[in-house]
Structure formats: C-alpha cells, structure tokens
A and B are shown apart, each in its own frame.
Chain A
Amino acid sequence: MADLSMASERRGDVVVIYPRGFINAHTVRQFEQELERAMESGRNRIVINGSGLSYIASAGLGAIMGHIEDVRSQGGDIRLTDLNETVLNILNVLGFNHICRVFDSEQEAVTSYSEAASND
C-alpha cells in the first residue's frame, strides 16, 4: 500500500479531499499539491475527510496552516471531518481545533458552508 494516496470530489461548490494513509514530512508534498490544485481551480471551500487518515504529523498541519489564510481571504476555508483519535490528539496538543473547524461527518462539514452563506 502506498504511504499516501489522494482523491478529491466536488460537492456543489465545496471540494472534499480524501487523504488515505499518513501525512508526515515524507508524504506532505502530495497532500499540499492536492490542496493547491483545489485552490488553483478556484475552489476555496475545502473539506478534508480524514476517514482514511491514520495519522498526521506537524508537517501535515503545517501545510494546512500555510494555506488557510489564503483560502479565507478568497471567502473559503479548510474544514476537517471524520478524524480518528490519533489525529484528534495532535490537534488537541496544538490547539489546532481553534484554527480549523472540526465536524463529525462529511455532510455536516459540507453543509456548514451553505449555512455560513445563508447567514451572510
């Protein structure tokens, strides 16, 4: 099995990214490229579905940190869902859930964008 494989799907104007494997300093570039691909195609409303993610190291969180201000300045965001305990643990250690909204399900994460738009 590859260390990390990436897939993306569109849900309306939201792009959902599915990393499968782990994100560390060895695989982070692949993850970052997927984020950049979404942003370059003008899709700044991003959900990362972590159901296939075994763990993420600070390198992976750094990739999110390095791009989140850019997507927010375009009216988008990077939101997380379906994270396992190991991933939630590192978010808690860093206080990262203060930076990124975390949802229990992909549907909640995707619809959170339309709720925000209807409240504007």
Chain B
Amino acid sequence: MSPDEPIESNEDDPSASRPNGRSMLELRFPSNTKYLHMVRELARRIAESTGFEAAEAEKIAMAVNEATTNVIEHAYHGEEGREIEIHFQPGGESLDIQIIHDGDALQEVPMPGFDLDKLVAERRKGGMGIYIMKQVMDGLRFGKAGSGKSMCVLVRYKRRDRKGE
C-alpha cells in the first residue's frame, strides 16, 4: 500500500461481522501521521453513534489517537506506508477497539506512580500516551493478532462501573 492510498473502510459492508455476533467497522490505512486526525475524528463519531456522550466519545478518540501514534512511532519507528488496521466493535455495553500492525510488538510499560514533574525535569517529550489510554479507557492490553501481527486492544464500557466484570 502506498502512503497516499486512501483510507479504506467497510462501514457499509453487510458482511462485516464477527463470530461473536458483534458488527464491526474496519479501517485500514498506511502508517503516516497525516491520517491521525481522520482516525481520531472517525473514532469520536463511532463512539458517539454507539451511544457514548460527546465528552466520553472525545476521551475514546483521545485514546485511539495515542494508540495509533504509538504504532507509527514505536512499532514502525516512523516508517511510512506500513499497514495499520483498526477494528471497532461496538457491543451493547462496550466499545472494543483493536489497533493491529505488523511492526515491532509493543508492550505496556509499568508505570508505578506516573510522575509528570519528573518527565518535565528530564525534558522528556514523550511517555504520556499509555498513561492517557489507561486513564480514559477501561481496558488496555497488548497481544498477538494472528498472522504474525500485533495489536493493542482498547475497551471502554458505557457504564464505567462494569470495568473488570
């Protein structure tokens, strides 16, 4: 896929469904930061259309933006034109989002007591993405997606008290 190839989505494809019965919206695009804004806006709209309040949908969009940025910068090390897939699976109680890539596997960095003061003192420009994802989502995990691919899974419940059920 070339970096300028347009984003593909199968939103209108009636065959886009999952074995668990959840309908799925799938997005496939080349690794390039120029698509981040579009991905963020799409995530926000999907969250809104699946029943999240506007402010909650903004937070979900924020997390998807951070996760996708991590894939481009850390899994693909900024290389353009590699493939990223995002699967949005809205369910009755949650929205599950998988960000799939075939770059370096990412993993959750242990963050015992996120310390913004320390990052500032060290003049660090990064290190906040995973913290943001953990704060605004109910689930975050990294794993294998099959065919040698890796994925980051974000889960957000409509009722946050359902976290961990």
- Using CB atoms, name the residue of chain A closest to B125: A62
Q: Is B73 an interface residue (CB 8 A)?
A: yes
| With known contacts A22-B37, A58-B126, A86-B58, A94–B69 Cβ distance under 8 A | no
Q: In the assembled complex, how far is the CB of residue A56 from the closest CB belonging to chain B, in whole angstroms? A: 10
Contacts of A6 in B (CB 8 A): none
Contacts of B40 in A (CB 8 A): 24, 55
Q: Is B142 an interface residue (CB 8 A)?
A: no
Tell me the count of chain A residues lying within 8 A, CB to CB, of chain B.
28
Chain B 130-141 interface 0/1 with A at a Cβ cutoff of 8 Å (1 = within):
011001100000
Tell me the count of chain B residues lying within 8 A, CB to CB, of chain A.
30
Question: A residues bordering B, Cβ < 8 Å?
Answer: 3, 22, 24-26, 55, 57-59, 61-63, 65-70, 85-86, 89-90, 93-96, 98-99
* CB<8 Å pairs between A and B, sample of 29: A3-B37, A24-B37, A25-B69, A25-B73, A26-B34, A55-B40, A55-B62, A57-B62, A58-B66, A58-B69, A58-B126, A58-B129, A62-B125, A62-B127, A63-B125, A65-B119, A65-B120, A66-B124, A69-B120, A86-B58, A93-B59, A93-B135, A93-B136, A94-B131, A94-B132, A94-B135, A95-B116, A99-B116, A99-B120
